[in-house]
Amino acid sequence: MRTDLVVVGGGHAGCEAAAAAARMGASVVLVSLHRHTVGQMPCNPAIGGIGKGHLVAEIDALGGLQGWAADRTGIQFRTLNQSRGPAVWGPRAQCDKEAYALLLRRVIEGLPGVTLVEEEVEGLRIDGERVCGVELGGGEIIDAGVVILTTGTFLGGLLHTGDDRQPGGRLGERPSTKLGASLGALGFELRRFK
């Protein structure tokens, strides 16, 4: 398969990258471990607030999906810090997590030029000094002019239970371990933050 752009990971960043590229006329392959988790929110279903509100506003100004989807799936809207001055006010929406993910997934699946692939990316394809595609878990190769990694915490994900550490992803999902090993073999230093 050949495409202009491969986006690895279907969370907030992956959906925004795929949608932005598609709006510019690029052919996009969005690769996610599971089709049903594309657009899924993390444990906190809040969009906006003091720390992230400016980012949502910037994404929105560029035609992004996050604020648009929050407006349509929000179940509570508040302005935080109203007892203080306007400089620290922050609009925040609490969203219905299932409705948000379903809406984003439908938007992504309906975008012209976007193909959603349910598989694990196990490695990057390199030509000289340039990334030229990805290799999927089933052995399929996707050649691309650009590859964007938006794996989030799934890249080498670890679950900590007391002193026990084991590979894992969100809510019983598997982590993306082979891509992390591939990046390490290419000389990238990967770190985990708790």
Tell me what the mean pLDDT of segment 51-78 comes to.
Answer: 94
- % residues pLDDT > 90 (the chain): 70
- DSSP-based helix, strand, coil % in the chain, nearest 5: 35, 35, 30
pLDDT at 2: 97
pLDDT at 166: 82
Tell me what the mean pLDDT of segment 10-38 comes to.
Answer: 95
Tell me what the mean pLDDT of segment 129-158 comes to.
Answer: 92
Q: What's the pTM value of the predicted model, to 2 decimals?
A: 0.89
- Residue closest to 6 by CA, chosen among 27, 25, 24: 27
Residue 44 has pLDDT above 80, yes or no: yes
Report helix, strand or coil for 162: coil
Tell me what the mean pLDDT of segment 126-131 comes to.
Answer: 94
Tell me what the mean pLDDT of segment 180-194 comes to.
Answer: 84
pLDDT at 60: 93
CA angle in degrees (0–180, nearest 5) for 152-40-158: 40
Architecture label for domain 1-40+101-194 = 3-Layer(bba) Sandwich (3.50)
pLDDT at 194: 62
**Domain spans, the chain:** 1-40+101-194, 46-95
Residue 43 has pLDDT above 80, yes or no: no
Mean pLDDT of the chain: 92
N-terminal to C-terminal alpha carbon distance within the chain: 37
Q: Cα torsion at 59, 33, 169, 22 (round to 10°)?
A: -10
Tell me what the mean pLDDT of segment 99-103 comes to.
Answer: 97
Residue 155 has pLDDT above 70, yes or no: yes
- pLDDT tens-digit series, residues 14-26: 999 999 999 999 9
Q: 29 and 118 in contact (C-beta within 8 Å)?
A: no
